[in-house]
Amino acid sequence: MGCTSRSAVLFAPSNTKLPPDAVIFGTSSAGEAVRLSAEMAATTNLPVLLQGQSGTGKEILAQYIHRRSSWGNGAVVKVNCPAIPGTLLESELFGYQTGAFTGAYSCKLRRPPDSQLP
């Protein structure tokens, strides 16, 4: 039996208005270096991991990178990784089929409808 239901729990529209670049990065050389790194990350087809203490602007930087990427018009996946046990991270992000592992009695698909993930 295939999966037909989809969940939008982790997905959010990318229409949140971002502050101006000068507000996000400031005017220091360190801020400019972060902006240049973010611009470079947006041009790649690689995942980006943002780490830092609470309140340091990771979510804003993620939105900044996403908006400038080729997926900028699509949904943004917001994940609080520490809240998900490491053994469940893959199934929570990408879903699973019935019987994929012990306890997988139903199907859970965690992709937005327009996802281009394999």
What are the structure tokens assigned to 82, written together? 């520490």
pLDDT in tens, 68-101: 999 888 877 777 777 888 777 777 777 666 766 6
Give a yes or no: residue 52 inside a domain. Answer: yes
DSSP string, 21-53: HHHHH-SSHHHHHHHHHHHHHHTSSS-------
Give a yes or no: residue 1 inside a domain. Answer: no
Give a yes or no: residue 51 inside a domain. Answer: yes
DSSP string, 71-102: TTTS-EE---GGGS-GGGHHHHHH-B-TTSST
Cα distance between residue 40 and residue 118, in whole Å:
24
Query: Can you give the residue range of the structural domain that contains 41?
Result: 11-81
Count: domains in the chain: 1
With bands split at pLDDT 50, 70 and 90, how would you rate the model's confidence at 43? very high
Give a yes or no: residue 116 inside a domain. Answer: no
Give a yes or no: residue 59 inside a domain. Answer: yes
